[in-house]
Amino acid sequence: MEYFPRIAEEREISRLLWLSRQQYGRMVLVYGRPGSGRTSTIRRVLDGSRTVTFHIGGKTAGLQMQEFLREARSVLGPEGDWNAATPSNLLERIASRSVEETTAVVFENFEMLGQYWKDEYTAIDAFWKQMSRKTRMFLILCGSSVPALERIFTTPSSPMYNVLDSKVLIPSLKSQDLKLLLNRSGKEAGSSAVLLAWAMTGGLSSLVSPLVDSGAWDIPSMLETYFSPDSPFVCGPDAFLSGLFGRDRDVYMSVLQAIACGNSSQKEIESYLGMNVGGHLFKLETVYDLVCKERPAFARPDSRGAVRYSIKDVDIEFWFRFVHARRSLVAAGDFRKLRECASDGLEEWLDHVQVRYFHQKLSEESDWQHVEGWWNPVATMDVVAWSDNKKRIYVAKSYRDPAGFDPEKFRAEVNAFKIITGKAGGLQASYLTRKDV
C-alpha cells in the first residue's frame, strides 16, 4: 500500500532524539493501538541509532530479565558490570554507558511492567530524576492501553507523574484516508464498501495493508480477502486477546461476544450469558481498554439508568460478530460458509456501523470536541456533536436511504431532545444517509 507518513509524529520523536544527542536524556511516551504503526514509526526514526529494545510480557520476570540483559550486552558490549535484577537496575547500567554516545532504549508494552516488577514505575521515576541530566539516554516508553497509561503518568498520585518530556499518539488512519486508499486503483468503492472496510480494519495500518494490497474494493472482494486461509483478520484478534486475558480468556471473550451481538446494557449481557459480569465489564473498560461505558449526551456522569456498553474498536466488534460467533466454521476451515453467513444481514449491520463511522468522521474534524449519541424512551439522536463552549450543537439521525427519513417524526424527536436536555440554543439538526459516508 502507499504509505501515509506519520510526519508530525516522526518529527517530534526525531526532535527528542536530537536533543538527547546534543544535551542530555529525554523520555517520551509513544502510544497507539497494536497495529497502528507505532513500532514501525519508531523504527524509522531510530534507523542507524544505537538501540536496545525490551518487550514486556509473555514470560516470567526472570526470563524477561535474561532477555533484557542479553539484548543490552549485544548492543553495548559485554564489558563491565551487567549485574541487574530489575529493569531499573539495567537502566542504570545502560545510562553509565551512554554518557558520550546516545543509546535509545525502547520499552514495548510499558503498561505491563508493574505486573512483573512491583514498584518498578517508582524506581524508574527515581532513576530518571537522578540520572537524566547525566546521560544521553533516549528512553521511549510504548503502550496501547490508555487507562493503564493514565494511571502511570497523569495524576499527581501517579508513580511517574510529570516526568515525560513528550507524549506522541500514533493514530489509526482517518476515515477519509481509508476511502482514498480504496479508490487508488481507479475503481470507486461504494459507501457500503467503505463502511465494511472501516469495520474490518478499524483504520489500523497492519489491517488496511493486506486489504488494499489484495485489490479489494467492493463488498464481495473484501469478504473474500477477510475470510480466507491464513488471513490476519481471522487469526490475529484471537491470538492477541488470548494473550491479553490469559486464564480468564473464556469469560471475557463471552462478554465481548454478548456485546457484539447487540446486548448493550449490563442486564442484557447478564441475561444473555446467565452470569454476573459487573467486575468483568469494569476491567474490560478500565484495564484492557476494550469496552466503552456510554451515557446519553449531556447526562450526569453518575447517572446509571441509561448506561450501555459498546466494544471500543469497530474491527474487534466485527471479528466477534462474524468470526468468533462462528468459530466452529473457522476450525473446520469452511471459509465459503463464513462468507455466506457474513453476507446475510450485512447491510442491516452496516446501519449500526454507519452511526459509528459518522461519530469517527466528526471527531476527526476540529470543530467538534465531543461526539456522542443520545437516547431516551421517547426519542433518540444517533449523533450529538458539540464544542467545549457549547455555543453550537449538531444533532442528526442516520438512515441508510433518504426514503427512510420522516420529517414530522424527526422534528418531534428534535423537540424532545431540546426539552429533555435543555439544549436549544445554537442547535443545528439534519439527517445523514449512506451517501454521506
Q: For position 384, which CATH number holds? A: 3.40.1350.10
95 in a structural domain: yes
Closest CA to 429 of 333, 419, 417, 79: 417
- Both 160 and 193 in one domain: the answer is no
pLDDT at 282 over 60: yes
Instruction: Pick the last residue of a domain from 324, 349, 374.
Output: 349
73 in a structural domain: yes
Predicted pLDDT of residue 5: 67
Backbone angles phi, psi at 243, to 5 degrees: -65, -35
Strands (DSSP E) found in 243-400: 291-294, 308-311, 370-376, 379-386, 393-399
- Domain extent, residue 391, equals 365-436
355 in a structural domain: no
Coil, helix or strand for 436? helix
Confidence of residue 317 (pLDDT cuts 50, 70, 90): very high
- Both 240 and 266 in one domain: the answer is yes
The 8-class DSSP code of residue 382 comes to E
pLDDT at 64 over 60: yes
**Paired sense of beta strands 393-399 and 379-386, if any:** antiparallel
- Both 288 and 187 in one domain: the answer is yes
The grid coordinates listed for 400 are 441508510
pLDDT digits (tens, 9 = 90+) for 194-218: 999 999 999 998 899 888 888 888 9
Predicted pLDDT of residue 1: 47
pLDDT digits (tens, 9 = 90+) for 148-167: 999 999 999 999 999 999 99
Coil, helix or strand for 187? coil
pLDDT at 130 over 50: yes
Confidence of residue 313 (pLDDT cuts 50, 70, 90): very high
- Both 218 and 286 in one domain: the answer is yes
295 in a structural domain: yes
CA distance 105 to 95: 10
Predicted pLDDT of residue 185: 60
Stretch 372-391: mean pLDDT, rounded? Answer: 90
The grid coordinates listed for 134 are 547525566
Predicted pLDDT of residue 388: 79
pLDDT at 3 over 60: no
Stretch 378-398: mean pLDDT, rounded? Answer: 90
Q: What is the CATH number of the domain that holds 58?
A: 3.40.50.300
1 in a structural domain: no
- Both 122 and 196 in one domain: the answer is no
Q: What are the CA-CA distances from residue 23 to residues 27, 28, 130, 134, 166 (Å)?
A: 13, 16, 16, 9, 16
- Both 285 and 403 in one domain: the answer is no
CB 386 within 8 A of CB 370: yes
Q: What are the CA-CA distances from residue 82 to residues 59, 78, 124, 127 (Å)?
A: 21, 8, 17, 17
- Both 311 and 377 in one domain: the answer is no
Predicted pLDDT of residue 300: 83
Mean pLDDT of the chain: 92
CA distance 58 to 332: 29
97 in a structural domain: yes
Confidence of residue 97 (pLDDT cuts 50, 70, 90): very high
Predicted pLDDT of residue 186: 61
360 in a structural domain: no
- Both 93 and 165 in one domain: the answer is yes
Instruction: Pick the last residue of a domain from 289, 318, 349.
Output: 349
Stretch 275-302: mean pLDDT, rounded? Answer: 92
C-alpha triplet 75, 76, 78: angle, nearest 5°: 105
Confidence of residue 2 (pLDDT cuts 50, 70, 90): very low
CA 117 to chain centre: 26
Instruction: Pick the last residue of a domain from 134, 169, 204.
Output: 169
What is the pTM assigned to this prediction? 0.88
- Both 158 and 198 in one domain: the answer is no
pLDDT digits (tens, 9 = 90+) for 401-419: 999 899 999 999 999 999 9
342 in a structural domain: yes
CA distance 263 to 256: 10
- Both 66 and 128 in one domain: the answer is yes
- Both 183 and 330 in one domain: the answer is yes
- Torsion, Cα 73 77 82 85, to 10 degrees, reads -20
35-39, 125-129, 246-250, 304-308: which has the minimum mean pLDDT? 304-308
Scan for cell 475470510, then name that residue: 227
Domain count of the chain? 3
**Paired sense of beta strands 379-386 and 370-376, if any:** antiparallel
- Both 126 and 52 in one domain: the answer is yes
CB 25 within 8 A of CB 139: yes
